[in-house]
């Protein structure tokens, strides 16, 4: 009996290609006749392009074409309320935000395209853009949601009645995904068929969006995104650069590659909205909540984008309270498109509510862990549904023990080590644990291997390996016998995109279903094929087990069986449905973060010195990649707390639109991180019981850092990031 690989440590199957540089990313393709494109971006925040002088660029060596709003190329608006941006690139002269694409130069080499682009000048008529949440807010509410106890007239009334009240207002500027691979597109037309190499979190969605913007049948576009250098949300939509690249390649009749510069990425592929939030807590003196209010103002760019809703995934589902109200407002600004970024609303939302809880703990003198246990929810406080499976209380207890929470200084700024102030903080992690629809194809092959294919994407999540592990488990074969396939829109329709921490939870059930059907198909072939030793038998008398087909004393491995039958492969495709999001259960993954920081007494320098997190995510499919994702999420929280911020200037220019100014964590910012998970499969989500974990680590981790900084210094910083100047 082979041991199932589910939950064990399986090395990434794509590892050897990635460590040798042989994994091809979008910009690594070199089709014959390739030419290069370089984008031109607007340098005013709002206005109109009056004219552009392209004469020098056109006369520059090697230049093949210069596209501008005045010399455009037809692209169709495919927004329909679901894309990222509501306008169509180069179809008019309006400048909607600073850094909008207003041109594309194509030349025979990269250097020539880049230089020629720098020769293009633009004249604008400009007006002052709206860039400030504070000046343009409060925003428009899509509708506040609330639950009030019988007899309570309003949330304000409930808060006013509470013996203890806390009001916490937190704020943060824009943040950026900063995937290491700049968005790149290599477009190759052959006859009227387009192959588009690009990074993508969902190649099938990508292909349909590109097809719509080009006005061609979806079947005419194939998106290949086998290796994607990070996504974090920024590779969910097909952005304008990809559409422009595809359209220009068609117009020129040449394969075209457009790679965005790092600086261009800051305004062209989405960002996490700036957001201001106010959490108000009303509690008994023993810490039990009477009321919770969570309000927010976030950007809604005039060009559309992702609405940042920080309360619905945090305060609305976290703690038991008889009175709760959330109001998530959106402020219209002339900023680049916002888009979901890892823990899109949850990461900022958890910073707000978990900071407020720390303030409540301080005010009431109750230990922060105990305070959370006293307010433990078994139902959604706003929606009222029971959780499918919840062991958050164990996360708190196990985490506290592993971390040594009992050694936390009770009084802020009371522990030192030389010139360093030591502090400890904790916070809760929560992220929806849903499962969507998916599809998979499983194929027994006459070389003794099995193809396990799904139209999903691996953006670093480990999906390649997940397919192999799920197939190996379902078929009782070694992981090494699996040949995973993904990242190709030509795979069976209905693959799960790598979004919402749901790709694994969605795809594993599809692989299992396809494996069962492939086994059925193999047995059917075995009894029907005249060259098969099982020919003529009743399929009910033929068994499949661990790669072998047997009946009575006859037994044969599937490879030999296929060869005997003269059949190269036997395959099956299955589609699986997701869980009902409006069904009886609320699906959430949970965790508890514990953090120790050291803050220099004289310089304010902040070092995260220890981190322990314990998670409840249902079944873990691959321990190795799961640990990496959880650790990555935690480090994102460290970055969010201490480093990441892009203030916008009044003219619409981002102040930190490069990797030297927009700081993300580097190796020296990160201590050893202790990640642990509980082993409680979720019986409601699927047979395998996996709920998903890609974003969970990033939720609450920034608050744990902030709470530790408060414990170390006695200073509560509510405007992120917590930089040393705020501690002096």
Partner 1 sequence: MPVVTQSEGMSRRELLSRSGVVATAVATVPLIGADALAEEAPGEVGVRMTVNGTVTPLTVDPRETLLDVLRERLRLTGTKKGCDRGQCGACTVHVDGERVVSCLTLVATLGGARVTTIEGLADGDRLHPLQQAFIDHDGFQCGFCTPGQIMSAAAVIEDGRARTDDQIREQMSGNICRCSAYPGIVAAVQQARKEMR
Q: Say whether residue 643 binds partner 1 (CB under 8 A).
A: no
Q: Say whether residue 44 binds partner 1 (CB under 8 A).
A: yes
Q: Quick check: 241 and 126 in contact, CB under 8 A?
A: no
Closest distance of CB 568 from partner 1, Å: 28
Q: How would you class 482 by CB atoms within 10 Å of its CB: exposed for 0-12, middle for 13-18, buried for 19 or more? A: buried
Binding segment for partner 1 among 105-113, 150-158, 399-407, 565-573 (CB under 8 A)? 105-113
Q: Going residue by residue from 660 to 699, which x/- string records binding to partner 1, judged by CB under 8 A? A: x---xxxxxxx-xx--------------------------
| Centroid of chain to Cα 697 | 12
Q: Say whether residue 627 binds partner 1 (CB under 8 A).
A: yes
49 vs 214, beta carbon nearer partner 1? 49
Strand partners, 606: 599
Per the residue annotation, which of 241, 380, 596, 695 is the catalytic one? 695
Q: Quick check: 279 and 352 in contact, CB under 8 A?
A: yes
Closest distance of CB 311 from partner 1, Å: 27
3-class DSSP state of 51: strand
Give the Cα separation of 480 and 606 in Å (integer).
45
Token output for 714: 């006695």
Q: Quick check: 116 and 63 in contact, CB under 8 A?
A: yes
Closest distance of CB 158 from partner 1, Å: 41
Among 233, 343, 462, 721, binds partner 1 (CB under 8 A): 462
Closest distance of CB 487 from partner 1, Å: 12
3-class DSSP state of 294: strand
Verify whether residue 695 is a known catalytic residue.
yes
Strand partners, 453: 441, 485
- What is the chain's Cα-based Rg? 27
80 vs 666, beta carbon nearer partner 1? 666
Q: Quick check: 725 and 604 in contact, CB under 8 A?
A: yes
How many other C-beta atoms lie within 10 A of the C-beta of residue 627?
18
Q: Quick check: 214 and 194 in contact, CB under 8 A?
A: yes
Q: Say whether residue 15 binds partner 1 (CB under 8 A).
A: yes
Token output for 485: 């396939």
Among 5, 6, 12, 204, binds partner 1 (CB under 8 A): 12
Q: Say whether residue 32 binds partner 1 (CB under 8 A).
A: no
509 vs 591, beta carbon nearer partner 1? 591
Per the listing, tokens 């991180």 go with: 673
Give the Cα separation of 117 and 275 in Å (integer).
35
Closest distance of CB 183 from partner 1, Å: 12
Among 92, 123, 577, 679, binds partner 1 (CB under 8 A): 123
45 vs 381, beta carbon nearer partner 1? 45
Closest distance of CB 57 from partner 1, Å: 10
Q: Say whether residue 55 binds partner 1 (CB under 8 A).
A: no
The helix (run of H) or strand (run of E) holding residue 392 is: helix 392-403
22 vs 82, beta carbon nearer partner 1? 22
Closest distance of CB 35 from partner 1, Å: 11
Q: Say whether residue 14 binds partner 1 (CB under 8 A).
A: yes
Q: Say whether residue 30 binds partner 1 (CB under 8 A).
A: yes
How many other C-beta atoms lie within 10 A of the C-beta of residue 660?
7
Among 363, 397, 624, 676, binds partner 1 (CB under 8 A): 624
Q: Say whether residue 649 binds partner 1 (CB under 8 A).
A: no
Q: Say whether residue 531 binds partner 1 (CB under 8 A).
A: no
Token output for 707: 């709470």
Q: Say whether residue 23 binds partner 1 (CB under 8 A).
A: yes
Among 54, 90, 300, 635, binds partner 1 (CB under 8 A): 635
Of residues 154-183, those binding partner 1 (CB under 8 A): 177-182
Q: Quick check: 688 and 619 in contact, CB under 8 A?
A: yes
Give the Cα separation of 187 and 703 in Å (integer).
43
Binding segment for partner 1 among 531-539, 587-595, 598-606, 658-666 (CB under 8 A)? 658-666
Of residues 292-311, those binding partner 1 (CB under 8 A): none
Among 420, 628, 676, 719, binds partner 1 (CB under 8 A): 628
Where does residue 446 fall: left (phi above 0), alpha (psi -120 to 50 degrees), or beta otherwise?
Answer: alpha
Q: Which residues are tagged catalytic?
A: 695
């Amino acid at each position: 009996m082979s041991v199932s690989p589910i939950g064990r440590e399986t090395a990434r199957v794509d590892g050897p290609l990635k460590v040798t540089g042989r994994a091809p990313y979008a910009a690594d393709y070199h089709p014959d006749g390739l030419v290069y494109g370089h984008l031109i971006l607007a340098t005013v925040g709002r206005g109109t392009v009056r004219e552009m002088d392209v004469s020098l660029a056109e006369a520059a060596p090697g230049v093949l074409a210069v596209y501008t709003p005045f010399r455009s190329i037809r692209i169709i608006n495919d927004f329909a309320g679901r894309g990222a941006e509501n306008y169509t690139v180069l179809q008019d002269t309006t400048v909607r935000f600073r850094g909008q694409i207003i041109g594309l130069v194509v030349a025979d080499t990269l250097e020539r395209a880049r230089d020629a682009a720098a020769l293009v000048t633009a004249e604008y008529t400009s007006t002052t853009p709206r860039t400030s949440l504070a000046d343009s807010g409060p925003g428009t509410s899509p509708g506040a949601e609330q639950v009030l106890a019988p007899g309570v007239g309003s949330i304000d009334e409930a808060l006013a009645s509470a013996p203890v009240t806390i009001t916490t207002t937190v704020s943060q500027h824009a943040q950026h995904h900063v995937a290491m691979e700049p968005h790149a597109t290599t477009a190759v037309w052959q006859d009227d068929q387009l192959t588009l190499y690009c990074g993508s979190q969902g190649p099938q969605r990508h292909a349909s969006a590109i097809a719509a913007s080009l006005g061609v049948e979806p079947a005419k576009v194939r998106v290949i995104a086998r290796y994607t250098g990070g996504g974090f949300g920024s590779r969910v939509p097909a952005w304008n650069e990809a559409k422009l690249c595809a359209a220009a390649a068609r117009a020129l009749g040449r394969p075209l590659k457009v790679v965005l510069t790092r600086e261009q990425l800051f305004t062209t592929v989405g960002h996490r909205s700036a957001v201001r939030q106010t959490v108000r807590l009303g509690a008994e003196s023993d810490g039990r909540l009477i009321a919770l209010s969570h309000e927010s103002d976030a950007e809604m760019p005039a060009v559309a984008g992702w609405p940042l809703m920080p309360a619905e995934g945090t305060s609305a589902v976290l703690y038991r309270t008889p009175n709760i109200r959330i109001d998530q407002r959106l402020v219209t600004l002339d900023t680049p498109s916002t888009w979901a970024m890892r823990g899109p609303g949850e990461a900022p939302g958890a910073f707000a509510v978990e900071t407020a809880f720390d303030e409540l703990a301080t005010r009431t003198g109750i230990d922060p862990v105990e305070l959370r246990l006293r307010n433990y929810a078994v139902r959604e406080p706003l929606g009222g549904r029971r959780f499918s499976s919840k062991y958050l209380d164990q996360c708190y207890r196990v985490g506290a023990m592993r971390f040594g929470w009992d050694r936390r200084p009770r009084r802020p700024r009371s522990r030192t080590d030389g010139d360093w102030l030591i502090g400890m903080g904790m916070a809760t992690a929560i992220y929806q644990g849903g499962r969507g629809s998916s599809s998979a194809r499983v194929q027994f092959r006459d070389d003794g291997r099995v193809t396990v294919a799904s139209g999903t994407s691996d953006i670093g999540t480990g999906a390649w390996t997940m397919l192999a592990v799920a197939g190996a488990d379902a078929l009782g074969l070694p992981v090494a016998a699996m040949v995973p396939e993904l990242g190709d829109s030509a795979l069976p329709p209905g693959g799960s995109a790598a979004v919402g921490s749901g790709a694994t939870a969605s795809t594993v059930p599809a692989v299992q279903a396809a494996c069962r059907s492939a086994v059925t198909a193999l047995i059917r072939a075995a009894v029907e094929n005249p060259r098969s030793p099982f020919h003529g038998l009743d399929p009910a008398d033929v068994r499949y087990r661990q790669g072998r087909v047997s009946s009575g004393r006859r037994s044969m491995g599937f490879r030999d069986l296929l060869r005997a039958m003269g059949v190269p492969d036997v395959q099956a495709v299955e589609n699986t449905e997701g869980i009902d999001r409006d069904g009886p259960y609320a699906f959430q993954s949970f965790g508890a973060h514990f953090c120790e920081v050291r803050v220099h007494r004289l310089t304010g320098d902040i070092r995260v010195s220890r981190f322990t997190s314990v998670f409840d995510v249902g079944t873990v499919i691959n321990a190795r990649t799961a640990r990496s994702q959880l650790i990555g999420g935690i480090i994102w929280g460290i970055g969010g707390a201490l480093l990441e911020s892009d203030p916008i200037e009044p003219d619409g220019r981002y102040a930190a639109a490069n990797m030297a100014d927009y700081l993300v964590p580097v190796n020296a910012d990160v201590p050893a991180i202790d990640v642990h998970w509980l082993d409680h499969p979720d019986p409601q989500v699927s047979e395998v019981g996996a709920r998903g974990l890609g974003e969970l680590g990033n939720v609450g981790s920034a608050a744990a850092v902030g709470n530790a900084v408060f414990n170390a210094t006695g200073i509560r910083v509510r405007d992120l990031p917590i930089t040393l100047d705020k501690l002096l």
